Copies of this chain bind each other. A is one copy, B any other.
Amino acid sequence: MRKILGLDIGGAHIKSATAMIGKTVKLGKRETIPFEIFREKQRLASLLGAIMKKTKPDGVAITMTGELSDVFKSRAQGVRWILDSALKAVRRIEMRVVDVNGRLISTQSAKRNPACVSSANWSATGAFVSRWITNGIVVDIGSTTTDILPVVNGEVAVKGKTDYERLKNGELLYTGYLRTSAVAVCPEINLDGATLSTCPEHFAIVGDAHLYLGDIKPKNYTCLTPDGRGKTKTAAGARLARLVLSDSKTLKNKGITSIATQIIKAQEEKIALGIKRIVHNHGLNMAPIIVIGPGRIYLKQIKKRLNINSFPRAVGGYPVQLLDPSVCAAGLWKGDALCEGIKTS
């Protein structure tokens, strides 16, 4: 058995997970570490070093989206920064990078062709899940984005490989259950019998609506609050009221609950509609839909809106809660032609 560390380096979090690779693949536990790359890219290498020290893996499979941050002049620069930081931390252990075709390529190849590994973390999940299902759709609802990946005849059948192409084809929705600016999902709010435009400032996020309604606990609010204030119901309520230039005193609990509910409902609709489009485009009307990621809290509503699909709780024997790009990246080590021959010290 070899222990492989999977790393998913995003713009606001680093996710790490291990997989034990032998005759079978045993997926291990995941960890999410808040890390805002635009604030502290310098700290990436030492943070990864600490993860290495803790997990002591035999191999590292890495994937990323953090290179999109505007702290980097270009994606290529971001990819190289992330890979160089990782190489400093990983040192002599074999490291591979997930590419847009779901393969684990060498860091040298990745640095030569950054576009090929840029924002490819969806590909890790898609490639790993497609080993276990023939037809279906993988929906990964994260804090910032949602991936919708069709699997057709055992292959990931996405039309786009770059973020731009994925956005264009509806395979990437830039909306997530936590960090998304509330105004983006709810440009208008009905209140007091009137329709109000919400204010396009970073006043509140979708996570504030969930926190206010009790859908998530403060510890699950893993990003910064827009105003730097608390992760409490009261503070979230004040942020939500500010969306319509008001306050908790004026709107009271009833008004703020209404705002929060409208935000969540709008996002549910957005995600469900996005899934329906991909279902339709690939004729996957009866296929199972594998909903993963922390945004799985929307499952019940998605089920309602797509009422003839099945929503399996496990894939290939793995509970869906286990699946995410970091653990899938590690899992790809087994069965990847490029990695199987590698001996690790």
Contact = CB atoms under 8 A, between A and B. Distances in A.
A215 interface: no
Interface string A162-175: 11100111001111
Contacts of A167: 196-197, 199, 244-245
Contacts of A169: 194
Interface in A167-220: 167-169, 172-175, 180-181, 183-185, 187, 191-192, 194, 196-197, 199-203
Nearest to A228: B70
Contact of A245 (B174, B227, B250): B174
Interface in A70-97: 70, 74-75
A203 B163 contact: no
A224 to B, nearest CB: 13
A36 interface: no
Contacts of A175: 200
Given A70-B242, A226-B70, A196 B168 contact: yes
Contact of A174 (B184, B191, B200): B200
Nearest to A176: B200
A68 interface: yes
A329 to B, nearest CB: 21
Contact of A200 (B168, B181, B201): B181
A45 B135 CA distance: 66
Contact of A197 (B173, B183, B200, B242): B173
A180 B183 CA distance: 12
A58 interface: no
B247 A74 contact: yes
A246 interface: yes
Contacts of A162: 245
A168 B202 CA distance: 20
Contact of A184 (B187, B196, B226, B250): B187
B168 A192 contact: yes
A69 to B, nearest CB: 9
A174 B226 CA distance: 18
Interface of A: 68, 70, 74-75, 162-164, 167-169, 172-175, 180-181, 183-185, 187, 191-192, 194, 196-197, 199-203, 226-227, 229, 239, 242, 244-247, 250
